[in-house]
Amino acid sequence: MSRFAELLDRFFYRPDEAVGAFLELAPETEALPEAAPEELPEEFLAFELAGETYAVPIATVREIQKVGDVTEVPRAAPNLIGLINVRGEMLPLYDVKRRLDLADAVPVVRSRKDVGRGARVVLVKDPEGDAGILVDRVQGVVKLNLSRLESAPQLGVERDAVAGLSRKDGHLYILLDLEQALS
């Protein structure tokens, strides 16, 4: 009779069926992964801007691109170089040099021809919408210890786009505060 019982079971509608089984599932979906221990060095992308070496956390970097066509956007923010097409997605390309006082003006870039050979677009993730920043050269990925972070010295210039400094193997890495740098 067990086969019939099964068939019959499927046949009858039971409006009073319990929800208990679902409830038991609930706590599992809420479990959160433990936060990683703090000591590990973090990975950063290092790049050059006017001869200085800057770095941003690798987790904030979406991809690195060669410079292609850039479309000028009239009446936009002064630090905007233009609009770039990343596989159908229209993203803004920003200049950060002027913000960091490394240049007097935002460069006019319309295509590959307007930039140096090493120049790249670093696409960064941002809650306000992903954006590209134009860099002179990409150095690579470095591991930096966040616990040994120096704050930037007072140099008489506004440096609020700098999150801190880090030294490794004799190199100085300036950590860029992306949010400030893009504003």
Partner 1 sequence: MATERALDEFVTEANEILDQLAKDLFVLDQERGREPDPERLNAIFRGAHSLKGLSAMFGVDRISRLAHRAEDVLDALRLGKVPLDDRLIDTLIETLDMLQALLARVSQGTSAPDIEAGADHLQDRLGDLAKGRANAAEDLLDQVGLDPAMRSVFTEYEEHRLRENVKKGVGLWKVRAVYSLEDFDAQLAALNARLKPLGEVVSTLPSSQPGDEASIAFDLVFGSARPRADLEKALEGATLAPLTSRPAPEVTKVGRPLPPETSSPAPRPAPKWDETSASGFSPFPESPGSALRLAPDASLRSLTQTVRVDIARLDGLMNSIGELLLIRSNINRLAESARQVGTGVALPKLWGQELQREARALERKLDELQKGVLDVRMVPLGQVFDKLTRLMRRLVRESGKDVDFEVSGGDVELDKLIVEELSDPLMHLLRNSLDHGIEPPEVRRLHHKPTRGKIRLKAREQGNQVIIEVGDDGGGMDEARIRQVAVERGLVTEAQAQELSRRDLLNLVFLPGFSTRADVSEMSGRGVGLDVVKTNLQRLSGLIDIDSRRGDGTTFTLTLPLTLAIIRALMVSVSGRTYAVPLSSVMEIVSVRHADLKTIERREVFEVRGQTLPFVRLGRVFRLPEQPRERSYVVIIGLAQQRIGLAVDELLGQEDIVTKPLSGRLRAVPGVSGATELGDRRAVLVLDVGALMEELLRPQAAAS
Query: Which positions touch partner 1 (CB under 8 A)?
Result: 4, 7-8, 11-12, 14-16, 19, 22-23, 25-26, 29-30, 68-69, 71-77, 80, 83-85, 88-92, 126, 128-131, 182
- Choice between 10 and 117, CB closer to partner 1: 10
- Choice between 89 and 104, CB closer to partner 1: 89
- Choice between 30 and 39, CB closer to partner 1: 30
Please give the Cα distance from 167 to 148 (Å, whole number).
8
Cα distance between the two ends of the chain: 74
Contact 173, 44 (CB under 8 A): yes
Q: State the minimum distance, in angstroms, from the CB of residue 83 to partner 1.
A: 5
Paired strand residues for 90: 85
Q: State the minimum distance, in angstroms, from the CB of residue 25 to partner 1.
A: 6
Q: State the minimum distance, in angstroms, from the CB of residue 69 to partner 1.
A: 4
Q: State the minimum distance, in angstroms, from the CB of residue 144 to partner 1.
A: 27
Please give the Cα distance from 168 to 153 (Å, whole number).
18
Q: Which residue, among 135, 133, 131, has the nearest Cα to 115 in the 3D structure? A: 135
Amino acid letter for position 116:
G
- Choice between 124 and 144, CB closer to partner 1: 124
Paired strand residues for 133: 94, 122
